[in-house]
A and B are shown apart, each in its own frame.
Chain A
């Protein structure tokens, strides 16, 4: 991946300062949940983080709305919360779900990318998703994670290689 190909895919929706909080919830729930599901490796963890982030943004909604980047602020808040949980707990609790009687889980278990991603270490997953999917430069990811940009690149590189190995794919 080269820098000019990077495109920040989250947030994509430009919610203006006239948007209500409900507008943001409506527009961003899928996007923010999906991002958190990828980085956290667990639906329950992702849901808890999403709700916490929405509540945090809601608490300071006047300021967030005035700044005109509600979706971006939501994304940064949620990822920041995840990183702080990683830092405080050493790891994020993984409540692996059972496929029994749960079509959503069955769908997830059938997604080889998701299964391979879930097998990565949390910081590898976070670095890889933020850099490769959302196009964040390693410097910004490093600031968010409180680590050096070089370490972010190393995490992402290792995660990328592991993902390719598990998926049997090669960079085009």
Chain B
């Protein structure tokens, strides 16, 4: 037997798997079944709308106002708690509103609400090891995020996913990785990693800030040099959503995994 195989075998046997695999699978299955139920409920609502036009809006509003929850033990129809800024969040599904969309995602232990998502309760969103997740609808980008006061794109960025990704990838002084095709909640997405240069003297930027884009939620200004923004740009039924999983080189593996776990759990109602 070759030495290579022996060493591969030893390494294979030493690899530590994630814990609670079965629980994770049950959670996934629950979410899938919930989506099927939601789909059926939407169909029923639409039929009711055709028959009783006057009542249709009320039916839909009622449906949207009372989303079912994920998680194996929560009954259909139980409300999903909304994300409250600065509130420490109990583990489980939470709801956030964005430009008319209702978005749910599973929050693990140790996170608190922010205006547009969640940040790590103890480490915050800042360097050297913070982590945050936020949802955006981007209206325009800055071509030079450090000199942002004079660099809003003209004409403004187009409305497609590709328009936005191309504009972000072309930003001066804000390097990006490859554009990766991905999927979020069954919607096609483009994944793009952007990094604020470690060597950036952010104090010399306009107002000491580094702004990437404009949005109805306000400008996105990065927390500091070295920050990595893993962006998922998605067209959700005509609304271009950006999910920003942000972290730093010092952010622990566990917290990065938590960020991407939340992205994987996203459900657009």
CA distance A38 to B7 in the complex (A): 12
B1-60 CB contacts (< 8 Å) to partner A = 1-5, 7-18, 21-22, 24-25, 28-29
Tell which of A64-72, A104-112, A140-148 binds the partner.
A104-112
CA distance A50 to B257 in the complex (A): 15
The answer to whether A111 and B11 touch across the interface, beta carbons within 8 angstroms, is: yes
Contact pattern, A 132-172, Cβ under 8 Å of B = 1, otherwise 0? 11000000000000000000000000001001100101111
A13 proximal to B (CB < 8 A)? no
Q: List residues of chain B with CB within 8 A of the CB of A25.
A: 21-22, 25
Contact of A5 among B1, B21, B22, B252 (CB under 8 A): B1
Task: Describe B's contact surface by its main secondary structure.
Answer: helix
B249 proximal to A (CB < 8 A)? yes
Q: How many residues of A contact B (CB 8 A)?
A: 51
Q: List residues of chain A with CB within 8 A of the CB of B250.
A: 98, 100
CA distance A30 to B19 in the complex (A): 10
The answer to whether B256 and A97 touch across the interface, beta carbons within 8 angstroms, is: yes
Q: How many residues of B contact A (CB 8 A)?
A: 38
Q: List residues of chain B with CB within 8 A of the CB of A26.
A: 22
- Closest residue of chain A to B247, judged by CB? A98
The answer to whether B180 and A93 touch across the interface, beta carbons within 8 angstroms, is: yes
Q: List residues of chain A with CB within 8 A of the CB of B7.
A: 113, 167, 169
CA distance A34 to B13 in the complex (A): 7
With contacts A58-B25, A88-B181 taken as known, whether A33 is within 8 angstroms of B3 at the C-beta atoms is no
Q: List 27 A-B contacts (CB under 8 A).
A: A26-B22, A30-B17, A33-B15, A33-B18, A35-B12, A43-B253, A44-B256, A44-B257, A50-B21, A55-B25, A91-B178, A95-B260, A98-B249, A98-B252, A98-B256, A102-B254, A107-B16, A111-B11, A113-B11, A114-B11, A129-B8, A132-B2, A132-B4, A169-B3, A171-B2, A172-B2, A172-B3
Residue positions of B touching A, CB distance < 8 A: 1-5, 7-18, 21-22, 24-25, 28-29, 129, 178, 180-181, 191, 249-254, 256-257, 260, 264
